Amino acid sequence: MGEAREVMDRLTEVAFSKDLEALKELYAPDAVAETPDEGTLRGRDQIVAWVGAFMIAFPDASYELTRGYESGANAIDEGDFVGTNTGPLPTPTGESMPATGRGVRIRSCDAVTVEGGLVTSHRFYYDQMDFLGQLGLAPEA
């Protein structure tokens, strides 16, 4: 197992344990993330705030890894984000939606680039319409 895989595994562990300070330490100060809903996030503070908002909205969140890959400085995870929406969910407009009380199981893929033991690039992929449908906020796919 190489550095990229080790960092990705640690990233997932601390994110879902909701240790946001430890999560922040895994990102380079100038890390960049691409998200389906917020677009480009710049800097570890923005990235960790985005992840933290999901942890507030889904306090019981877990991640079920189905496949993990590594190639050089890159690691990719495929799996399912699972949780119950019992907290407010921020929207891209800055507003907040009240909890729906509904559970979700969303297929996702994360890809990171690691340099010097820190994530410099993180790409999050998931189907927003499936996510919103499972929350009852859009027609289910």
The answer to whether 141 touches 133, Cβ cutoff 8 Å, is yes
Instruction: Give pLDDT, residue 46.
Output: 97
The answer to whether 38 touches 31, Cβ cutoff 8 Å, is no
What is the CA angle 135-136-141, rounded to 5? 90
Q: What pTM was estimated for this model as a whole?
A: 0.92
pLDDT in tens, 64-80: 999 999 999 999 999 99
Q: Which CATH class is domain 3-134?
A: alpha beta
Instruction: Give pLDDT, residue 141.
Output: 56
Name the H helices within the chain.
3-16, 20-24, 44-57, 128-134
Instruction: Give pLDDT, residue 140.
Output: 61
pLDDT in tens, 29-59: 999 999 999 999 999 999 999 999 999 999 9
Say whether pLDDT at 125 is over 90: yes
Could you give the CA distance from residue 23 to residue 8 in angstroms, rounded to a whole number? 11
Among 67-71, 88-92, 136-140, the range with the most confident prediction by mean pLDDT is: 67-71
Could you give the CA distance from residue 104 to residue 117 in angstroms, rounded to a whole number? 32
Instruction: Give pLDDT, residue 17.
Output: 95
Q: What is the mean pLDDT of residues 9-18?
A: 96
Domain boundaries, the chain: 3-134
